[in-house]
Structure 1
Amino acid sequence: MAEAEVKTESVGTVVVAGAANLAIAIAKLVAGLLSGSAAMLSEAAHSVADTTTELLLYLALRRGARPADPRHPFGYGKESYVWAFLAALFTFVAGAGFAITHGVTTILVHEHTGSYLVAYVVLAISFAIESVSLARAVRQVRGESRRWRTTPRRYLRLTADTTVKAVFLEDSAALIGLLIAAAGLTLSHLTGDELYDGVASILIGVLLLVVAAVLARSNISLLVGRAVSERTHRQIEQELAQVPTVDRIDTLMTMVLGPEDILVAAKVDFRDDATGAEIEAASDEAERRLTGRFPEIAYVFLDPTRPRGTGRRARTTQDEPGRSVDQEA
């Protein structure tokens, strides 16, 4: 799958999720006001937060896809993580904050006015719409995991395309939140005690906090400069080692520059009898090998180096202990 196709699919996933969340937010707000349910109003805040998040993720895709220029020679891929991080913060502050605060207020006040029926109807419709949005995200996750020859779970954990990850997690959380709201609403309806509705609202807020924390952590890691996964690192090293005239890969470092851009830098020990022309040819072949197997690799820098133990060596990082969890195989 070409880079443009991947980004187009990601944009489509975000647009579908955004449109669904906007429609659901309006319906939940009306239902919450008519039924007086704290959980339903919290779900409305949840959907408003998700809608705003989708707008920020759309902006992330567009801003991050801009081509490189003299002031930004490696492109604008990392800017997408800035907007995605802001989206996670908005979910944390707006969605979770409102849900928890409103839930606590409901428990303290213990009042309910309005009909439950409209809330039940909106919950059912919302569940159906959110399921459609989640199905699209799941389809893209499965397709991308096949392209990377890995499992969907591992792809979600390690992917640099945080927009797909965000939509999947938010839609999953939305369905769970709807079930929590339905449970709280039903218990309050049957018992006449608003405690259950308030607790459901708080649980929805906690759910949003968890999603926001996961997404924020992932985006911070990518903003700092995360390496590729350990398995991909080994595969890149194997490709380089198979290039003629290469004796050994002394140091191999990688960095994710954007959802579809990877930088590879390596200190390579070429054969002692290799000529300058042979080293140049080997470098060209190395780049062809890597970009052929991993189209996401946008930059390859090879540094001919002396045999190990000769002269001062620069420090290495990815092949040493202390690797972060995000880089584990």
Structure 2
Amino acid sequence: MSAGGNNRTLWIALAANLGIAVSKFVAAAFTGSSAMLTEGVHSLVDSANQLLLLWGRKASRRVADKSHPFGYGRELYFWSFVVAVMVFALGAVVSIYEGIAHISHPEAAVSPIIAYIVLFIAFLLEGGSTFSAFKEFREAKGQLGWFEAVKRSKDPPTFIVLLENGAAMFGIIIAAVGLAVSQLTGDPRFDGAASIIIGAILGFTAWVLAVESKQLLIGESAGRETIDGLRSIAVGRPGITGVGEVLTVHSSPDQITAMMSVDFDDGISAREVEQIVAAIEEEARREWPLVRRLYVRPQQGAGAAGGSQVLTI
């Protein structure tokens, strides 16, 4: 899956969510709808999330220095995890709390037509933002299935925006249904129940985002294709008798650090070993440009029985 890194979708989502949040809060003030207020909080949280992801991408592109010799790439993964926490704490928890409060102390909505208009406009804006995120993620995933693409993606913003927007569109539909049922039955508690359902959707979304972001934050390996490709560069090369461990880790969506254990022929000179290592590094840079650093470690018996397994971190 491609590394991504385009901020266009994030800016589109930010603009859409800010406009939607303002309109939902205004509508909630006029109608007294719990689900509408919940949706306003949801859109506001999404707006803050887009700002955090934009900052994370900018911060992750800082050049390496003495204190961070491998660069700042994982800062993007940190802020992605923060986004997941915010979706849960400020989205799911607040939504469920507001829903329970509205069920405990129900209040009939006023001027619901305003809520329907705002929800319709929000759905259109959210739909445009979702389509942009969908298009970017579809291009990045290639031939992978959608679920597999999310699991294998190394660029969290590409799937975070898509999942957030998808949850937002479901939330808008549920808010409209809750308001409609409240009107038809005369029971405003259905509006509060809609709030709780929206909170549950946000909670599940937050859990998915947290799991995927955590994997990247603690260090996730490159894909099998990259690992096998690096291994094939060394296997069978003159002067090499065996290849052992191939360790890889993503430092950022577009940066992989790799280490390879190689058993060199005892009959070649140190100069020849240096030339072989240089050739391996050159071919790796050409074939796998995301591999920014490749460390080749001489190891006697590498690739022998019991030491030929390819390991990843």
Q: Same-fold call, TM > 0.5?
A: yes
Question: Residues 108 and 135 from structure 1, CA distance in 2 versus in 1: closer, same or farther, beyond 3 angstroms?
Answer: same
Q: Match for residue 111 of structure 2?
A: 115
Q: After the TM superposition, which of the residue ranges 210-219 and 60-69 deviates more from structure 2?
A: 210-219
> Which residue matches 2:95?
99
How far off its partner does 1:318 sit? 6.1
Q: Give 1:55's aligned residue.
A: 51
CA drift of 1:294 comes to 2.4
Q: Which residue of 1 aligns with 2:203?
A: 209
**In the alignment, structure 1 residue 44 sits paired with structure 2 residue 40:** yes
Give, in whole Å, the separation in 2 of the partners of 1:174 and 1:19.
Answer: 15
| TM superposition shift of 1:276 | 2.6
Q: 1:30 to 1:152 in 2, by over 3 A?
A: same
1:260 maps to which residue?
254
Shift of 1:195: 2.2
Q: Which amino acid aligns with 2:32?
A: G
Pairing partner for 2:73 from 68, 74, 77: 77
Does structure 2 conserve the Cα–Cα contact (< 8 Å) formed by 1:48 and 1:95?
Answer: no
Q: Which moved more, 1:268-277 or 1:256-265?
A: 268-277
Question: What code does the residue aligned with 2:104 have?
Answer: L
Give the deviation of 1:153 after TM superposition: 3.5
Q: Which residue of 2 aligns with 1:284?
A: 278
Q: 1:13 aligns with which of 9, 18, 37?
A: 9
> In the alignment, which residue of structure 1 is the partner of 2:244?
250
* Deviation of 1:50 (Å): 0.4
1:176 paired to 2:170: yes
What SS does the aligned partner of 1:220 have? helix
Residue-by-residue CA offset, 1:59-94 (whole Å, 9 max, x unaligned): 100101111112211000011112221122111111
Q: Over residues 178-225 of structure 1, what are the superposed CA-to-partner deviations in whole Å (9 max), with x where a residue is unaligned? A: 111111111112111122211110011111111112112222222211
Tell me how far apart the structure 2 counterparts of residues 292 and 254 of structure 1 sit (CA, whole Å).
17
Q: Secondary structure at the match of 2:109?
A: coil
Tell me if the contact between 1:227 and 1:318 (Cα under 8 Å) persists in the aligned partners.
no
Contact kept in structure 1, 2:109 and 2:188, CA below 8 Å? no
Distance 1:121 1:244, change over 3 A: farther
Amino acid at match of 2:222: V
2:131 corresponds in structure 1 to 135
User: Structure 1 unaligned runs (5+)?
Assistant: none
The aligned residue for residue 60 of structure 2 is: 64
| 1:148-163 equivalent positions in 2, closer than 5 A | 150-163=144-157
The two structures, once aligned, show a CA RMSD in angstroms of 2.4
Is the 1:89–1:212 contact (alpha carbons within 8 Å) kept by the matching residues of 2? Answer: yes
- Is the partner of 2:173 in helix, strand or coil? helix
* Unmatched 5+ stretches in structure 2: none
Distance, in Å, in 2 between the alignment partners of 1:225 and 1:306 is 28
For the 8 Å contact 2:244–2:309, the answer to whether it is kept is no
* Among candidates 218, 221, 229, match of residue 224 of structure 1: 218
CA contact (8 A) 2:9 2:132 kept: yes
Cα distance, 1:231 vs structure 2 = 4.2
Change (3 A) 1:169 1:250: same
Task: Give secondary structure in 2 for the equivalent of 1:112.
Answer: coil
Report the CA distance between 1:232 and its aligned residue: 3.4
Distance of aligned partners of 1:219 and 1:65 in 2 relative to their CA distance in 1, 3 Å threshold: same
3-state SS of the aligned residue for 1:262? strand
